[in-house]
Amino acid sequence: MIGLTAKVVDETPNVEEAVEKAAYKNLGHAAASIRKEAIVSIEKSAKPATAGDPPHTRKGDLRKAIRYAREDKWTAVIGPRASAVSESGAAHEHGGQYMGQTFPSRPFMGPALETCLDRFRDDWRGAVR
């Protein structure tokens, strides 16, 4: 009988570090991509968009208000700043009341996320080596 020995090396810390680096890089990229997709979906027009389509903007304020921020290494928030466009972004996205008017749903953030999902899957694939 031949005796075999094997050396086992615990690479867990290296793998965890690689995952954190990939998350930092890819989450920031994902948030920026969603923001960009939402911005380009909003057209500049004096006429309102039809229900179900992304809203129109007269002066471009809604597009300028869309931002993203990392909350922590695993979380990002993307959407229009309430301080810039008040609650109109939410009224457009989900439908509802704003300044005495009823807005139909004209989503722009949800569709932007949906558009980017396949690309995110590809970005994450192979990110940890």
Confidence class for position 129, pLDDT limits 50, 70, 90: low
On whether residue 129 sits in a domain, the answer given is: no
On whether residue 37 sits in a domain, the answer given is: yes
- Mean pLDDT on 85-99: 89
- Mean pLDDT on 8-20: 86
> By residue range, what is the domain housing residue 112?
15-123
Confidence class for position 23, pLDDT limits 50, 70, 90: confident
- Can you state the percent helix, strand and coil of the chain, rounding each to 5? 50, 20, 35
On whether residue 99 sits in a domain, the answer given is: yes
On whether residue 10 sits in a domain, the answer given is: no
**Dihedral pair phi/psi, residue 75, rounded to 5°:** -135, 135
On whether residue 1 sits in a domain, the answer given is: no
Domain count of the fold of the chain? 1
On whether residue 8 sits in a domain, the answer given is: no
Dist CA 16 CA 20 (whole Å): 6
Dist CA 26 CA 99 (whole Å): 38
Q: What is the pLDDT of residue 4?
A: 84
On whether residue 82 sits in a domain, the answer given is: yes
On whether residue 81 sits in a domain, the answer given is: yes
Location of structure tokens 């569709």:
111
